[in-house]
């Protein structure tokens, strides 16, 4: 319906007409938009984090436990970074941390199928 049919009522903006001025409605943008570069920085940071925890180990059992500890310490930090910081870096770090934990789970599965339970 044309805006003239209801005088005194502004159109909702659902169907913008030619009568609306460009830029009349506010445009909301993210403060820190997610980009590929920030995601790559997060992957690098997460890989470095998991790698440093993996280097603390002296055996397969130690590697598994240090990997689990590193992931459990990283995830609350990444949750805070997601809420208050850069979501791109947090997403990249979460991906690499999850991938590192998946490798540890694969090691557990292979050792378990070989007849050895390595976690305790």
57 within domain boundaries: yes
C-alpha span between 66 and 56 (Å, rounded): 7
Alpha carbon 92 to its chain centroid, in Å, reads: 6
Give tens-digit pLDDT for 38-72: 999 999 999 999 999 999 999 999 999 999 999 99
Half-sphere exposure of 60 (CA within 13 A, CB side): 15
Q: Tell me what the mean pLDDT of segment 114-120 comes to.
A: 91
> Residue 86 sits in which domain range?
35-120
Alpha carbon 49 to its chain centroid, in Å, reads: 15
Please state, for a pLDDT cut of 70, what percent of the chain lies above it. 78
pTM: 0.72
45 within domain boundaries: yes
Domain count, the chain: 1
Mean pLDDT of the chain: 87
2 within domain boundaries: no
10 within domain boundaries: no
60 within domain boundaries: yes
30 within domain boundaries: no
19 within domain boundaries: no
């Amino acid at each position: 319906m044309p805006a003239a049919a209801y005088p005194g009522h502004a159109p909702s903006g659902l169907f913008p007409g030619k009568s609306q001025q460009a830029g009349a409605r506010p445009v909301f943008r993210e403060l820190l938009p997610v980009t590929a570069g920030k995601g790559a920085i997060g992957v690098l940071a997460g890989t470095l984090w998991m790698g440093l925890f993996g280097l603390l180990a002296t055996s397969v059992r130690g590697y598994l436990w240090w990997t689990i500890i590193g992931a459990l310490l990283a995830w609350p930090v990444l949750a805070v970074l997601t809420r208050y910081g850069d979501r791109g870096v947090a997403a990249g770090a979460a991906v690499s941390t999850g991938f590192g934990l998946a490798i540890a789970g694969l090691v557990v599965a292979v050792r378990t199928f070989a007849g050895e339970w390595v976690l305790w």
